[in-house]
Structure formats: C-alpha cells, structure tokens
Chains A and B, each alone.
Chain A
Amino acid sequence: MTSRHAEVEQVWPRDGRVLVIGRIVDAALTPPARTTAILTLTNRDRPDLVLSCPATVDGGRFRAAFPIELVVSAVACREIGGRQVWDLHLRLPGDPEPLRVGRHLDDIRDKKKVMTFPAQTSEAPAGAVSVKPYYTVMRNLSLISRPVHS
C-alpha cells in the first residue's frame, strides 16, 4: 500500500460490464469537486498497451464502468493470445501520478482467495474471451482475460 491510492469499495462484474466504485485516499489531496477522471487498464506484459474509460470523481469518491468488449476487442485486434493481466489505475486530471486501484483499508488479508469475482465471456472473431476482475496478492485490483476453449 502506498500513501495514496484509489480504495475499492465495490466491484460489479455483470451485464457485460465491470463497474468499480470507491474513494480516493490521499492525505495531500483536497477532494476535487465533481470532475471527470480516467480509469486505465495497463497490460502487464506490454506496458505500452493501455486501455481507458471515463470515471466520475465527486467529493473524493470515484465510479467507473467499462464494457468487457474494451478488453476483448483489444486482445482480438492486437492478436494477443493466452492469458493476459491488466492492472487498474485511476488518473485524476492534472495529476501526473496515476493512483493504483486496490483495497487496503479493511481487515481481510487474503483478498486474492476471499474476495473473488465471476468471469464474464464475450464472443470475438478468434473465439470467446473471458474477463475476470481479481485482487492480487498485494490487494490491488487487476483483470485477467483469457481465451475460452469450448
């Protein structure tokens, strides 16, 4: 955990989307009034491959949702095979350092095993791909995408 991050409160992987709700934890920051930020998904093996979607920030709280198509089409269009990990960050306007999205402020230690989420599947030209949010061993929020073998 760093001194500043985006603390997750809820993750909703349903209806073909992933919705993330939480609050910004940063002692130095005065909570910005209602503004638009960016949620980014960075491919862990290809740091230049960054997907993004808009996020709303209001009084220190954030909320962002993206369709899983965002990940599925990126994988299809770059012809990336196999299992891919995507790390989530929140980029506030005018802030050079993105905030890692994670959940650190409760007493549940083993989040990777205890707080799990279902996978959602989407059809792509090269075959179906599943997308699943998960907590890393460091309790940060990431996604796994992988081809579904039927």
Chain B
Amino acid sequence: MKIRYLLMNAYGVGGTIRTVINQANALAADHDVELVSVFRTGDRPRFPVDPRVRTRALADLRGPRWRHPVRDWLRHRPSSLVPPAEVRYATFSRLSDQKIVRYLRSLDGGVLVTTRPALNLLSARYAPRNVVRVAQEHMYLRSHKPELVAEIARWYPRLDAVVSLTDADAVEYAALLDGAPARLATIPNGLTPADRAPAALDGGIVVAAGRLTRQKGFDLLIKAFAEVVADHPGWQLRIYGDGREHGRLRRLIHRLHLYNHAFLMGGTTTLEQELAKGAMFVLSSRYEGFGMVLIEAMAHGLPVVSFDCPHGPADIVTHGRDGLLVPPEDVSALAAAMKSLIGDSSLRHALGEAARMSVRRYDMDGIRLAWERLFAELHAGATRVG
C-alpha cells in the first residue's frame, strides 16, 4: 500500500511531529511510506526517520529571502483557504495554499493521512476521490474554536475516515458528523519500543514533564507540592520542559519558599533517563490531546497521579489500579494523592508494576496493526467502488 503522511512541518519539534514520524517508521517495513511536510525549515527532521520512509517538502523555506522574492511575497500573504480559527492559521499563507492544493490534486490512489485541522479540511476539499483520505485528530474536537468546528462539520463528511485518540473524542465526532459516510475510529498513540530502565521508586523524586505553558498546569502542581513538602520535606519535584511560563513558575517557587524542593529542570533530550529517576510521575494538565507522556512514564513502572482532565488520562489510567486520578484543577486532591503514594511504598510498587503491564496495550506493534487494518479496509472499499 502507498501511504502518505501530510504534516505541517516535519522539521520542528513537538508531540504531533514525533507521533506521526513514529507511525510512518512503524509502517515502513511493509508499505511504501512517504512523509510530506508542507514547510521545510531545516536540513533534516529533528526526530529519527526510518531510511525506508521517503521525505519531501512542498514549500522549502530555507535560503535567504532576497533570493526567493516570489516565495517571500506569497509567504507573507495570509492564507485564503485555511480558516482563521485554526490555531496555526498564521503559519499558513498563500504560498502554502498554492503548494498544498497543487500537491493534493496531483495525487492518484493510495492512502493520504492528514494530521491537523487545516490539512484535514484541504484534503476533504481538494484530494481526488480515488485517494483514501484519513484525517487524524491530535487534540480533540472540543479544543477547536466554534468557527473551526463549523468548517469541520461542513467538510469532514467527505473524508473516508476521521481518527481520534480517545473514545470520548470519537463520540463527540460522531455527534457532529451524524450520519456522514466518513468512518470514525479511535487509535491511540503508540509506544515505540525502547529499553526502559525500571524507576527508582524509593528515590524521593516526583517527576513531571511538558512544555511550560498554562495548559500543563505546573502552577497547580507547584502549589500542591508545597502541601506535600510540609509533611515530607525529604521529597523533591523535578519539572522537565521549556516554555514561556518559565519566569512565572520560578517566581511562584520562590514565593512559596520551595527553592530547596521544586526545580525547573529545563528541556531534556534524555527524558527516559530522567523518568527512571522518579518515584512517581504527575500530570497536572488543565487539558490534553492524549497525554502520551503518562504512557511513557508508566512504561518505566512509574505510578502516576493525574488530573482527570479532558482528554486521555481517564483512558490511560485506571484509578487505584495503575495510578491515581483526581478531579481536574483540584490542588488539594492532587497533594493528597501524592502524599498517599509517598506514605505507602508498597502502594507505589504495586501501582507501578500494574502500570508497566497495562501500557503494553499501547505497544507500537498493536497500534501499527490497527492502522494497517483500517487502511486496508478503506482501501478495499475504495477499490470496489472505483
């Protein structure tokens, strides 16, 4: 099968980019896989790409502006095809409009997977009917602005499939696209195989990770940890990640006199090693697309404490079995859950071991099969009709 992944920028760093490249790599052994990046901002992708995956870019943004006057002029004209309500509207332009539409119209057969709302909408509008068009949702329907949801309701019914990360989100899509021929499916992100060191469950370190933005709720976590330290002064909180909230979070740590206990560790390229130093992992997000980092932590045998926020944690964690779920944005409940794990070493070990076993359902092998099965069914259907 010929499978093409269209993403906005394969040369950046981010959860969607990493997930899509992992998927392309997993399918490369048995299929003809191409990674198509709308923009090219670097010489090579920042995440490892399997050599069997071909890569191409539609709009190469490298090189000086004066050498590419037409490109530069088009690039600074706003897109007329991407809805302004798309979060990344400003990244798209007349240049990308032209390149994407020309690319989509040139396709003939095979599977096209698009990876964000702007691209999903363009695929629905411009890709030929003999192409199997699969849209991926890497956040969730309710995370989009109403104007964008209206566009989704209008155009997604033309697609062959819309794939969500969680069942809860698939239900939302089913309600919106009621009766449309587009197939709705749930396929979570896969856990790539790796040697994962078992976690240091008695090491006294609480680990959290994510971009330092309001979404990730590290302000709530720091406040909760102040309550924890009052009872357990030997414990330490380490938050991995960079982002625009860094200064604000640091001032919060200073104000709460947590400078001996809570640390903003900065970004790391060796998160796996840092996760393994933890005695527990905490997810304090106000919302998530999925919460992949929870799965990665659990794969190390780390017990997790997570807000039961939309979307993902409740799919991934079974409360009391492989982790603890607490009501979203409830600082005291988060603190209480951390304290209960700190105070009970055998509970940490029991939840951690259960976590390690339960996330096997996200192993890339199984996720790859789910994608293959979906593509094969849609492909067979398209061939019969065509």
Q: Are A117 and B259 in contact (CB under 8 A)?
A: yes
Q: How far is the CA of A35 from the CA of B67 in the complex (A)?
A: 74
Q: Are A114 and B266 in contact (CB under 8 A)?
A: yes
Please provide the chain A residues from 111 to 129 with a CB less than 8 Å away from any CB of chain B in the complex: 113-118
- Can you name 8 A-B residue pairings with CB atoms under 8 Å? A11-B259, A14-B257, A108-B265, A114-B265, A114-B266, A116-B254, A116-B259, A118-B259
Contact partner, A113, options B254, B260, B266, Cβ 8 Å: B266
B residues with a Cβ closer than 8 A to A are 250, 254-255, 257, 259-260, 263-266, 277
Identify the closest chain A residue to B260 (Cβ). Answer: A10
Q: Are A11 and B263 in contact (CB under 8 A)?
A: no
Q: Are A115 and B277 in contact (CB under 8 A)?
A: no
Contact partner, B264, options A9, A13, A114, Cβ 8 Å: A114
Q: How far is the CA of A107 from the CA of B278 in the complex (A)?
A: 13
Contact partner, A117, options B254, B266, B277, Cβ 8 Å: B254
Identify the closest chain A residue to B254 (Cβ). Answer: A118
Q: How far is the CA of A12 from the CA of B266 in the complex (A)?
A: 23
Closest beta carbon of chain A to B229's beta carbon, Å: 11
Closest beta carbon of chain B to A23's beta carbon, Å: 15
Q: How far is the CA of A4 from the CA of B300 in the complex (A)?
A: 36
Q: How far is the CA of A114 from the CA of B264 in the complex (A)?
A: 6
Please indicate the chain A residues that have their CB under 8 angstroms from the CB of B263 in the complex. 108, 114-115
Most buried by A among B259, B263, B277: B259
Contact partner, B260, options A11, A107, A108, Cβ 8 Å: A11
Q: How far is the CA of A117 from the CA of B264 in the complex (A)?
A: 12
Please indicate the chain B residues that have their CB under 8 angstroms from the CB of A116 in the complex. 250, 254, 259
- Which 3 A-B pairs give the minimum distances between C-beta atoms? A118-B254, A10-B260, A114-B263
Q: Are A12 and B264 in contact (CB under 8 A)?
A: no
Beyond the given pairs A11-B260, A118-B259, 10 more chain A to chain B contacts, judged by CB atoms under 8 angstroms and listed by A's residue number, are A12-B260, A108-B263, A114-B263, A114-B265, A115-B263, A116-B250, A116-B259, A117-B254, A118-B254, A118-B255
Closest beta carbon of chain A to B209's beta carbon, Å: 14
Q: Are A107 and B277 in contact (CB under 8 A)?
A: yes
Closest beta carbon of chain A to B251's beta carbon, Å: 8
Please indicate the chain A residues that have their CB under 8 angstroms from the CB of B277 in the complex. 107
Please indicate the chain A residues that have their CB under 8 angstroms from the CB of B265 in the complex. 108, 114
Identify the closest chain A residue to B253 (Cβ). Answer: A116
Q: How far is the CA of A11 from the CA of B250 in the complex (A)?
A: 16
Please indicate the chain A residues that have their CB under 8 angstroms from the CB of B255 in the complex. 118
